[in-house]
Structure 1
Amino acid sequence: MSEAIRVLLVDDEDGFISALSKRLGRRGMVATAVSGGQEALALLDREPVDVMVLDVKMPKMDGMQVLTLVKGRHPEVEVILLTGYADMDCALQAMSAGAFDFLIKPVDFELLGCRIMAAARGKSLRADCPAPGETAPGE
């Protein structure tokens, strides 16, 4: 990927997303932080995003609700869910709903950075591939 990875951070813990945003910026990523699901959905309607890092437990609209809406409206956005609670049922539900990954807080920054890059790389690869039934360029 030659362009900077655009990351949307969605978490009601302002200190966490502020610090994470700065660290991702030092890695050359463009990070935008919002504190809730409605803000995230509004931003996605206005701006392109490659990867969303989304907290599961938030007031008003939880991460699973946001994931379902994002995948319905913007299926090209890869979503990595974060939670402070290890819940295998929630993880399975998230993966079935289209999440790229499900990580437990406190998350190791190196691991999260690696998973964000993998998600963006996967998105880029899919964009280069023809849809089923289409022919690849040059064929």
Structure 2
Amino acid sequence: MPTASRTSPLAALHVLLVDDEQGFVDVLTKRLRRRDVAVTSVLSGKEGVRALRGGSYDVAVLDLKMEDLDGIEVLKIFKILDPAMPVIILTGHGSEQAAREGLALGAADYLMKPCDLDELLNKIGALARHPGTQAA
């Protein structure tokens, strides 16, 4: 008897993950891939810009605090290169005001680090289906 294959509703998505914390990136990338999400992970703002110039992504997940380019600068560049691509900002404790600045500059949503994987996946899925809106 044939078995029904279960395909994740996120399986067709390609996410760009930009964060300079190697351990966080490794764990989040592995967890997203287990949920059938295609992930391109980079470890700096400059690499994120380079990746976006060389590819197409459904959603970007962007850390706010990075060494080379901060997330706000990367967000501004992302919005020039691909204005329709939704961007979710990840921010640490105490950076909520900067995350709000990101929303004002075109980010679709933000999450506090460490974030709940299911919440992140829900936001990615919602934004990929309706890129012109902010996630709930």
Q: Aligning the two structures, in what range does the TM-score lie when normalised by the shorter sequence?
A: 0.7 to 0.9
TM-score, structure 1 as length reference: 0.83
TM-score, structure 2 as length reference: 0.85
Q: 2:85 aligns with which of 59, 77, 83?
A: 77
Corresponding residue number in structure 2 for 1:134 = none
CA contact (8 A) 1:54 1:81 kept: yes
Q: Which stretch shows the higher mean deviation, 78-87 or 59-68?
A: 78-87
Q: 2:116 aligns with which of 108, 112, 117?
A: 108
Corresponding residue number in structure 1 for 2:12 = 4
Cα distance in 2, alignment partners of residues 82 and 28 from structure 1? 21
CA contact (8 A) 1:53 1:81 kept: yes
Runs of 4+ residues deviating >3 angstroms: none
Q: Secondary structure at the match of 1:17?
A: helix
Q: Secondary structure at the match of 1:75?
A: coil
Are 1:96 and 2:100 counterparts?
no
CA contact (8 A) 2:10 2:37 kept: no
Cα distance in 2, alignment partners of residues 102 and 2 from structure 1? 19
Can you give the 5+ residue segments of structure 2 that lack an aligned partner in the other structure?
1-8
Which protein has the bigger helix share? 1
State the superposition RMSD in angstroms: 1.6
1:108 deviates by 0.7
1:1-139 to 2 correspondences below 5 Å? 4-123=12-131
